[in-house]
Every structure is written in C-alpha cells, then in structure tokens.
Structure 1
Amino acid sequence: MTTPEYDWWWGKRVNENVPMSSQENTRPIEEHLQVIPSELEILEAEKMRKRKNKAEEDLGSLKIYYKKLRLSIRTIGLGKISEQWR
C-alpha cells in the first residue's frame, strides 16, 4: 500500500522527466519536410542541361546549314518545277 505523499512524489517525478515543448523553439512543418537533392540528382540534372545545350547548338547549326543549302539550290536553279525547266 502506498501513501498519498508517495503517489504525489511519484507522479511529480514521472511528469518532470517528460520534456515539455515550448512554442518559441518550434519550426514550421515545411522546414522539416524540405527535400534536399542528392548528389546523384544534381549530377543528373547537370548532364541533362549539358545535353539540352548541345541539342540546341546542333539545331542552330542545322538551321544555318539548311538555309545555306536552300540558297544554293535557288542559286543554281535546282528548285525549279518541271514546267519551268521547259
């Protein structure tokens, strides 16, 4: 059998060991859930950027080449339709 004083002491002791949260130290849940990109994701993104830049450069070169080709075709007359050749 326990005395009321012991029950009070035991309840106080247990409750003092439980950490109480204070509002001043709390952070929004968004901070806890922030996604930090891994090194692999960063490297993959950099590779994709390089590939995209290379593709854009190649497309620009192809456009220039196409324009030069069309100009050459017009200059030598290969662009004429069959009725114009007659």
Structure 2
Amino acid sequence: MKRLAMGPMTIPEYNNWRVRRINNNIREQSHENSQSMEEYLRVVPSELEIIKQDFERRNAELEKKMA
C-alpha cells in the first residue's frame, strides 16, 4: 500500500478528499446477503483433501477385499 507523507504543507481540501476516498473504499456488509460468522469461516475442502479422502476410501475398500 502506498502512503503519502502528510505534513503541514498539505492543503485541507486534499486531506478531505483523501479521507473521503479511503472511506469510500471500505465496504460495509449488506444485511441482505449477510452470513453468520460460522458460515463465513467455514473451511471449504481443498482439492488435495478431497483426493486424500477418496484415496482413504478406496484403500479401505481394497483392505476389505483382501481380508
């Protein structure tokens, strides 16, 4: 993130513009599509985890066939 050195030479109009611009870039959560914190933080299984689960399932099936 780039920062600008602010000093006594900064004009008030520029400072007000900069503050408005920063505040306009901050998103507020809309209540229409809001999710609970648990849903937001829920871990989605990665492709590697899915492959691992598939491998373990197939491995268990093969062990049953061999026993």
TM-score, reference length from structure 1: 0.41
Runs of 4+ aligned residues of structure 1 deviating over 2 Å after TM superposition are 16-26
Higher helix share: 1
TM-score, reference length from structure 2: 0.51
Structure exhibiting the larger radius of gyration computed from Cα positions: 1
Unaligned runs of 5+ in 1: 1-9, 60-86
Range with greater deviation from structure 2 (44-53 or 24-33) = 24-33
Provide the residue aligned with 2:7 in structure 1.
Answer: none
Provide the residue aligned with 2:47 in structure 1.
Answer: 39
Unaligned runs of 5+ in 2: 1-15
Cα-Cα RMSD: 2.6
Higher relative contact order (CA 8 A, sep 6+): 1
Give the number of equivalent residue pairs.
Answer: 47
